[in-house]
Amino acid sequence: MNDEKRDGERLPLVEDYLGTRARVYGNEQAVLVGVNLDGRGDGLLDELVSLADTAGIPTLATVTQNRSRPDGATYIGKGKTEEVRALAEEVRADVVIFNNDLSPGQSRNLEEALGRKVVDRTQLILDIFAQRAATKEAKLQVEVAQLRYLLPRLRGWGEALTNAGAGIGTRGPGETKLEIDRNKIRRRIHAIEKKLREASEEREVRRKLRGRSDVPQVTLVGYTNSGKSTLLNQLAGGADAFVEDKLFATLDTLVRRGTVAPGRSALFIDTVGFIRDLPHQLVPAFAATLEAARYADLVLHVIDVARPTAVDDCRAVEETLAKEVFAKEDAPPPVLNVLNKIDAASEFATRDFEGVAICAKDGRNLDLLRERVAGLLYPDDREVEILIPHTAVRSLEFLRAKDRIEIIEYVAEGARARGRFSREELTAAEAAGSTITSAASAAEAG
């Protein structure tokens, strides 16, 4: 049965359910509100400003408040609510965006008190995902997250701001219609979850097919806008990953092949960026990213060391990986920190981290990064000079075809060659009569 119809009736789209107040639009302008509950006020709204910009919403003014705990009715209390209302009227803001997650009751009370639309942090992130999701699976993941977020808030939005204007979501529905809408949402969630399970099974098949090859998989993870896509384009030799200086520029996994050492390749997998306090509803939308990290042979954690919050960003990614990815893994893959954007960072920016410092934008130190990656993916490789008897030269042609060895010269005993050998390949070459004339580990050779 068509998921968009039930008993001959078209099921409304998620925008129909949410109404005009549950989304943000490019022609709206905002006042941003942040409540500091942990005593750290510096840069409290910096990320929210970036999120609003990513959603296409200009910021007209900001308001911050220090509280020991949120107000149960309005989160910010009666006095601060009146201050925000006056400011929003003065700058003619269309929407007030909170850096905190609001309960359905708090959202309703704030909309009534402020006389305009109220959007919290989770709504804003959900809306960005809705705008930027490109693949069918990503769109379904975002829609189910929106619907789950909407379900307990349906009544609150239906009853608030009844004179806000024409359009869906601006008049309160009756109880019967409300329950019908809730049932429609539950059915839609069920239908989407079934499709997402099928998509997960398809990803598992693709993953197993990739796993059968001898090409290892390297997953790039990191805080949103840390430079993962730029790095993928460099490592994969001009890959076409979308790059933009905004949060959540990439929402879909992208797989590209790149060379890490002569004759040695890897599959590099770009993923959606992490963010602090990731909305619970969006955890399923990270399914492909989490799976890509869980089953990788190596994880590159890309850290934007030019950001003042780099340490906190790094911690947020590490906590998400530990909680959502590696918690049940007996042997998680190795993780290599990649300290990106050193061109824009101070000389002390990397002192809090261990890893390889690079600039993905101009390619600085990428050779060093490739060497580290090759050493972790192919730890048994050795750079050697070897004397191959004439009878064994043809048996090593496959290595020449892969640019793994080169013939230096032919001598009476056979061919002198230099190249990169795995332990198994070197054992086979010696069994065929070859002799190592000089050797070094791959790392030493680099």
pLDDT tens-digit profile of 336-351? 999 999 998 887 788 8
**Which CA distances in Å does 416 have to 253, 264, 421, 431, 436?**
44, 22, 14, 17, 10
Between residues 303 and 157, the one the model is more confident about = 303
Question: Is the same domain home to 363 and 261?
Answer: yes
What would the mean pLDDT of 360-375 be, rounded to a whole number? 94
**pLDDT for res 305:** 94
Question: Is the same domain home to 230 and 363?
Answer: yes
User: 156-194 as b/e, with b when 16 or more CB fall inside 10 Å?
Assistant: bbbebbeebeeeebbeeeeeeeeeebbebbeebbebbee
What band does 241 get if pLDDT is binned at 50, 70 and 90?
low
- Containing 97, the helix (H) or strand (E) segment is strand 95-98
Tokens coding 112: 């009534």
C-alpha Rg value of the chain to the nearest Å: 27
Asked whether the predicted pLDDT for residue 175 surpasses 60, the reply is no
pTM summary value: 0.76
**pLDDT for res 399:** 79
Task: Assign residue 363 a region (left: φ > 0; alpha: ψ between -120 and 50; beta: otherwise).
Answer: left
Asked whether the predicted pLDDT for residue 298 surpasses 90, the reply is yes
The answer to whether residue 399 is domain-embedded is: yes
Bridge partners of residue 136, in order along the sequence: none
**pLDDT for res 78:** 94
Q: Specify the range with the lowest mean pLDDT, choosing from 11-15, 40-44, 134-138, 384-388.
A: 11-15
Asked whether the predicted pLDDT for residue 39 surpasses 70, the reply is no
Are the CB atoms for 181 and 175 separated by under 8 Å? Answer: no
Question: Is the same domain home to 19 and 166?
Answer: yes
- At which of 134, 169, 185 does a domain end? 185
The answer to whether residue 268 is domain-embedded is: yes
Asked whether the predicted pLDDT for residue 10 surpasses 50, the reply is no
What would the mean pLDDT of 412-437 be, rounded to a whole number? 86
* Longest CA span, the chain: 96
Question: Is the same domain home to 154 and 248?
Answer: no
Bridge partners of residue 416, in order along the sequence: 387, 409
Q: Specify the range with the lowest mean pLDDT, choosing from 231-245, 331-345, 420-434.
A: 231-245
Q: 3-state DSSP call for residue 89?
A: helix
Q: Specify the range with the lowest mean pLDDT, choosing from 15-24, 161-170, 210-219, 348-357.
A: 161-170
The answer to whether residue 135 is domain-embedded is: yes
Question: Is the same domain home to 420 and 433?
Answer: yes
Are the CB atoms for 250 and 138 separated by under 8 Å? Answer: no
Question: Is the same domain home to 221 and 351?
Answer: yes
Alpha-helical segments (H) within 160-299: 175-211, 228-235, 287-294
Q: Which domain range does residue 404 map to?
A: 382-445
Asked whether the predicted pLDDT for residue 402 surpasses 60, the reply is yes
Report phi then psi at 254, rounded to 5.
-135, 130
What band does 9 get if pLDDT is binned at 50, 70 and 90?
very low
Question: Is the same domain home to 309 and 162?
Answer: no
Other beta carbons within 10 angstroms of residue 134's beta carbon come to: 11
Are the CB atoms for 100 and 75 separated by under 8 Å? Answer: yes
The alpha carbon of residue 419 and the mean position of all alpha carbons in its chain are separated, in whole angstroms, by 38
What would the mean pLDDT of 63-68 be, rounded to a whole number? 91
Residue among 411, 412, 410, 420 nearest 385 (CA) = 420
- Containing 434, the helix (H) or strand (E) segment is none
3-state secondary structure 287-341: HHHHHHHHCCCEEEEEEECCCCCHHHHHHHHHHHHHHHHCCCCCCCCCEEEEEEC
The answer to whether residue 262 is domain-embedded is: yes
The answer to whether residue 281 is domain-embedded is: yes
Angle at alpha carbon of residue 283, lines to 278 and 289, rounded to 5° = 105
CB within 8 Å of 251: residues ≥ 6 apart? 129, 132, 133, 134, 138, 272
Question: Is the same domain home to 274 and 296?
Answer: yes
**pLDDT for res 211:** 56
Angle at alpha carbon of residue 268, lines to 264 and 273, rounded to 5° = 155
Between residues 364 and 155, the one the model is more confident about = 364
Question: Is the same domain home to 246 and 110?
Answer: no
Report strand pairing: 405-411 vs 298-304. unpaired
Mean pLDDT of the chain: 79
**pLDDT for res 422:** 86
The answer to whether residue 207 is domain-embedded is: no
Give the CATH number, domain containing residue 243. Answer: 3.40.50.300
- At which of 331, 348, 377 does a domain end? 377
Give the CATH number, domain containing residue 403. Answer: 3.30.70.240
With pLDDT > 70 as the criterion, what percentage of the chain qualifies?
77
Q: How many domains does the chain have?
A: 3
Between residues 109 and 277, the one the model is more confident about = 109
**pLDDT for res 212:** 56
**pLDDT for res 132:** 74
Question: Is the same domain home to 285 and 347?
Answer: yes
Give the CATH number, domain containing residue 65. Answer: 3.40.50.11060
Q: How many helices (H) and strands (E) does the chain have?
A: 16, 16
Q: Specify the range with the lowest mean pLDDT, choosing from 134-138, 190-194, 391-395, 428-432.
A: 134-138
CB within 8 Å of 86: residues ≥ 6 apart? none
With pLDDT > 90 as the criterion, what percentage of the chain qualifies?
28
Q: What is the pLDDT of residues 151-162, one digit of tens each?
A: 777 754 444 333
**pLDDT for res 1:** 39
Question: Is the same domain home to 388 and 373?
Answer: no
What would the mean pLDDT of 28-46 be, rounded to a whole number? 82
Angle at alpha carbon of residue 131, lines to 250 and 322, rounded to 5° = 45
The answer to whether residue 205 is domain-embedded is: no
- At which of 328, 358, 377 does a domain end? 377
**pLDDT for res 84:** 96
Residue among 279, 377, 348, 364 nearest 320 (CA) = 279
Question: Is the same domain home to 28 and 125?
Answer: yes
User: 65-87 as b/e, with b when 16 or more CB fall inside 10 Å?
Assistant: beeeebbebbbbbeebbeebbeb
Between residues 140 and 4, the one the model is more confident about = 140
The answer to whether residue 195 is domain-embedded is: no
